[in-house]
Structure 1
Amino acid sequence: MSFITVPRAILFDLDGTLADTAPDLAAAVNLLRTERGLEPTPYEILRPTASAGARGMIGASFGLAPHDEGYEALRQGFFDNYGAAMSVHSSLFDGVPELLDGIVAAGLVWGVVTNKPARFTDPLLPLIGLDKTACAISGDTTPHPKPHAAPLLEAAKRLGLAPEQCWYAGDDLRDIQAGKAAGMPTIACQWGYCGAIEPAAWGADYLMATPRDLLELIRTTLEGGALAA
């Protein structure tokens, strides 16, 4: 049996964990299709891939992978479209404002570690009410994005904390892989996009159905000390 340490910081993935950004991501890729005379890709197909950003959106909509011919032009077009309209329909998930307020009220700090490029992360956070983050690490902040440990280790460094003092919560398998690689307790957020692999199979320390459940877990841990996982 392993034990989850009492946290001093809670780190979060952004897309699909704190914020429902899929509508604007889907709009950006579907604009590429309409510009080419193609029918939009149904939203229900695009939404589960939103945590994978451009790679996920272009893969679901055009069937292309990063090394395929034509992918890079679509990627740049997607970035242009998204940058021009990144907060039209994006919003925080229900319960997230209360979760973040509860974290601060408990004497902890919270931060964002995302694979979204900084050119989008930095302007988006204040637009959707996440401007009080203690740190914001983007996909290009370090040489390696998640699932590499580097972004999470950079977040811990900026907060002046040991990795094990930080919990990492995310809605994608790569989030859990990155958290484990960094030596952080991990939370799989079932309210997010989650992709094709069920969160129960990710090997996270905990599965949380809602942001309110996560807040309760944090409070319970702070009150009772380390929890068995």
Structure 2
Amino acid sequence: MPNFRFPRAVLFDLDGTLVDSAPDFIAVINRMRAERGLAAMALADLRPVVSKGARAMLGAGFSDVPVAEREAWVQEFLDRYEAELGLHGKPFEGVEAMLAALEANGTTWGIVTNKPEYLARKLMPLLGWETRCAVLVGGDTLPVRKPDPLPLQHAATAIGVLAGHCAYVGDDERDIVAARAAGMPAVVALWGYRLHEDDPFAWQGDVLVHHPSELCQAQAWPRMANG
């Protein structure tokens, strides 16, 4: 019988993987739309692009506005999001149980996100994670962001774990690309945000998981370099 073990360490994407932040973002987009005389946008129309970042969400919310004009709205979007941070969104169902299971089995966990670091750090105490999350790397912590593998490698080094002993969990293709390039086993979070045309089965993750609760069991995780 296989000797299943939890990973020595796990790094997570944030939006769309640990936290369902789409309700915060739709509040921002709809406030911006209202101030520009536009009707509210449906949450279902924004959810698929949340993991793609601020520019993608502005593109979905203001598709008729030229890209250059939307670019000038990015800071406004981030400022408004900071005011809405944690007011509507929350961890996905099963995430807290998953994190507790990891901690109970001695697994260190952290976050590597493309969200600006100051926003990610501000969210941690709102979730009660400020002392539980061992490392947090944001999209502007380093000169590069995912899908570059450096943020993942940097996080692993910070917690003193070899990349091959650390799994990465994400809901976007760039998460899996970054993990593979970093030499980390990759877990595809199928509960997250995806465009209709996305094919997560083509991303070549090591395992695909439908619900965070599955990761409460050691056998759901990829086999690690340390056995």
- TM-score, scaled relative to structure 1: 0.89
* Corresponding residue of 2:202: 201
SS of 1:188's equivalent in the other structure is strand
**Residue range with higher mean Cα deviation, 181-190 or 67-76:** 67-76
Query: Where does structure 2 lack aligned partners over 5 or more consecutive residues?
Result: none
Shift of 1:220: 7.0
Alignment match, 1:171: 171
Q: Structure 1: which 4+ aligned runs deviate by more than 2 Å? A: 4-7, 217-222
SS in 2 for 1:141: coil
- After the TM superposition, which residues 92-131 of structure 1 pair with which residues of structure 2 at under 5 Å, given as runs? 92-131=91-130
TM-score (norm 2): 0.90
Write the deviation string for residues 60-107 of structure 1: whole angstroms up to 9, x where unpaired: 111279x92212222111111101111111111111111111101111
Q: Distance in 1 between matches of 2:70 and 2:64?
A: 6
Structure 1: how far apart are the matches of 2:164 and 2:81? 35
Q: Which residue of 2 aligns with 1:214?
A: 215
Q: Counterparts in 2 of 1:21-32, with a 5 A limit?
A: 21-32=21-32
Whether 2:142 is the aligned partner of 1:139: answer no
Whether the 8 Å contact between 2:6 and 2:102 is mirrored in structure 1 is no
Identity of aligned residues (%): 43
Q: 2: CA distance between counterparts of 1:162 and 1:172?
A: 23
Q: Deviation at 1:129?
A: 2.6
Question: In structure 2, how many angstroms separate the alpha carbons of the residues matched to 1:136 and 1:208?
Answer: 23
Structure 1 gaps of 5+ residues are none
Confirm or deny: 8 A CA contact 2:55 2:71 kept in the other structure: no
Partner in structure 2 of residue 17 of structure 1:
17
Q: How many Å apart are 1:130 and its aligned residue?
A: 2.2
Paired letter, 1:27:
A
RMSD, aligned α-carbons: 2.1
Alpha-carbon distance change, 47 to 219 in structure 1, aligned in 2, over 3 angstroms? closer
Partners of 1:160 and 1:106 lie apart in 2 by 18
- Please report how far the alpha carbon of residue 30 of structure 1 lies from its aligned counterpart in structure 2 after TM superposition: 1.7
8 Å CA contact 2:6–2:221 kept in 1: the answer is: no
Q: 1:152: which partner in 2?
A: 152
| SS at 1:130 equivalent | coil
Q: Give, in whole Å, the separation in 2 of the partners of 1:54 and 1:160.
A: 32
Q: CA deviation at 1:47?
A: 0.7
Q: Distance in 1 between matches of 2:64 and 2:37?
A: 18
Q: Which amino acid aligns with 1:129?
A: G
Q: Give the Cα–Cα distance (whole angstroms) in 1 for the partners of residues 139 and 221 of structure 2.
A: 32
Q: Distance in 1 between matches of 2:81 and 2:111?
A: 20
Q: Which amino acid aligns with 1:106?
A: N
- Counterpart of 1:112, as a letter, is I
Q: Say which SS state the counterpart of residue 45 (structure 1) adopts.
A: helix
Alpha-carbon distance in structure 2 between the residues aligned to 1:154 and 1:111: 11
